[in-house]
Chains A and B, each alone.
Chain A
Amino acid sequence: MSDVAAYEPPPSKPLGLGARLHCWWTIFRIALEERLAYRGDFALGTLMRFLPVITQIFLWWAIFESVSGGSDSGRMVGYSFHDMIAYYLLSMLGRAFSSMPGLASNVSKQIRDGEIKKYLIQPIDMIGFLWLARAAHKVAYYTVSTLPFALLFFLCRGYFTQGWPDPSVLLAFVISLLLAFALGFLMDLCIGLIGFWFLEVSSLLFVYMLLNFFLSGHMFPLDLLPSPWNEIVQFLPFKYLAYFPAAVFLGKVPADQLWFEIGLEFAWLIVLIVAARVLYARGLRRYSGYGG
């Protein structure tokens, strides 16, 4: 058995942080380049997302008009017309972090047509890889959309009646935006990974997006929901995708609860990471290499 040693794995070198970062950076850079391959389409698509803003402002204006007869004194569960527009703009910002166009459908497609093999035969982790690629997509998106966003907020500055929040609230806001990215990524990824069991997830994805639209607070502030729905949605992770960052900025989250809420969001992050990991590991067990 002396020649057995010939096929023993060489002692694995402990991976330096530098090498790891370099690898991550390469993945990130290449994903970014790929995103910019179709510049025109990408820029147009990004800008088009701003169009609904105008219709939304008109819609809320019409609603408040009919409720209160045009005066700004009209309120809906603590939201004036101005608050509502400010909320809408902020929830849009939250969505800019948490929405993951194409992630779930891409993952399930890769499972279906066997492209996932690439992550299995190369020494990389699929979830980590997708995370970096998605972060790069987001960065590409922000480079195009920062200017329009800034312009939009500048034009609509009048709606923010309370001015800038405290620095600590602002910090919590920034954290909640970053966490919105993480939670949005993980939730979409989990839906995509369900593709291991049902090869087609598009109808599931549709239900998820619909739920997401209502339960994240993208359509209206969650406080508008009557009891017990209001309490229920507060216990779901969807609210962190749009409602929560906006509520933090607008001071709707009481100061004494703010950091507790952020802690809760972290707890959801852990839960979702575990869920994604379990789904992935179980799914691979099930995976039988579809598509030749």
Chain B
Amino acid sequence: MAIIEIENLSKSYRVYQKREGLMAAIRGLVHREYRQVDAVRGIDLKVEQGEFVAFLGPNGAGKTTTLKLLSGVIYPSGGSCKVMGFVPWERSNEYRSRFALVMGQKNQLWWDLPSQESFRLHQQIYRIDASQFQKTLDELTELLGVRKLLGRPVRELSLGERMKMELIAALLHSPEILFLDEPTIGLDVVAQHNIQQFLRFYQEQRKITILLTSHYMKDIAALCRRVVVINDGAIKFDGSLSEVVDNFSSTRLVRLRLADGELATGIESIAEVESIELPKVTLRCQRLQVARVLTEALNRFQIEDVAVEDPPLEEVISKLFHDTRGPEQSSETAKAEVQS
């Protein structure tokens, strides 16, 4: 039995439809129009213990809503879900002490107090044995390199340092499942990298199950073997990152470095030109055409270096989002239910 089992889970919100203009605002006082937004439309998903899964999707695709449903913060409109055998939105204390949720844009620490104090509170709330607590805390602060910052009020920490503290707070009770919503949002490259490394190491050591949403492809490429693409509240793809590339990108980039003084005249007759910045030329072609393109290029030009690459992940993903939008998106307004 999988550690997370989601069946036909859906969540709809009713949002107040505001219209423009003063008159409309006054009318809105008496007669309110609501629109139904289907944030999650019947998803099925199974996650096995020890998996590190990324939820990928554009803003508003339903990733965060799914994480909220899994952590029991909101009730679903339909369908069922079991996490470690618990129904999340029943919020039993046993369930709540066995998972953690970290949201990149929310903080759980006490703003005006040193993180250490928040950690002590967690120790009590999660009833962590004192020696166990000290051991875990030492280990985590060591790994993240924040020992010196424990006594500093949270408000004085940088965003990256605060995120590390949030992670420690979330992991003190050794949760079996960790939900991460945009854990690296707004962080600089170094801090992002630190957190990625930490997550990978921790997950490999503890074999816990992690679900992560992120907009940074680097996070996902570095961490997750399994990618679930969510768009329009439905799962559009479920597989490995390389499968994503195979399925959604049929082209390759051929990067050439021409010899000194060589001009790129006529190169566009070989393949579509992506960019020319002499001596570098980038061509794009269908995957099956790579051999032909290379042979022709080598025959006709003096070339010093050659590389064949997949298109950048960002490009593949944005194509994927676009392709999986489907007709639902455009008809969303038509579907809007008007209620009073």
Contacts and interface: CB of A to CB of B under 8 A. Distances in A.
B121 A9 contact: no
A6 B49 CA distance: 10
Nearest to A284: B75
27 contacts: A4-B1, A4-B85, A8-B85, A9-B86, A12-B93, A15-B127, A22-B124, A23-B124, A23-B127, A26-B120, A30-B113, A30-B117, A33-B117, A34-B112, A37-B153, A114-B106, A117-B103, A118-B106, A121-B96, A121-B99, A123-B96, A123-B97, A123-B126, A288-B74, A289-B74, A292-B64, A292-B106
Interface string B60-87: 0000110010011111000000001110
B125 interface: yes
Nearest to B39: A288
Contacts of A115: 106
Listed from nearest, the 8 A-B pairs whose CB atoms lie closest are A7-B85, A37-B112, A9-B94, A23-B124, A123-B96, A7-B84, A26-B124, A123-B93
A121 B113 contact: no
Interface in A8-29: 8-10, 12, 15, 19, 22-23, 26-27
Nearest to A8: B85
B133 interface: no
Nearest to A1: B1
Nearest to B179: A121
A219 B74 CA distance: 43
Nearest to B97: A123
- Which of B68, B71, B95: most chain A Cβ within 10 A? B68
A117 B74 CA distance: 9
Contact of B94 (A12, A34, A117, A122): A12
B132 interface: no
B315 to A, nearest CB: 27
Contacts of B84: 7, 9
A209 interface: no
Contact of A123 (B101, B105, B125): B125
Nearest to B155: A37
Contacts of B86: 9
Given A121-B96, A123-B97, A123-B126, A30 B85 contact: no
A10 B124 contact: no
A115 B71 CA distance: 14
B125 A121 contact: no
Contacts of A124: 125
Nearest to B11: A288
A285 B75 contact: yes
A154 interface: no
Contacts of B68: 117, 289
Contact of B91 (A19, A120, A285): A120
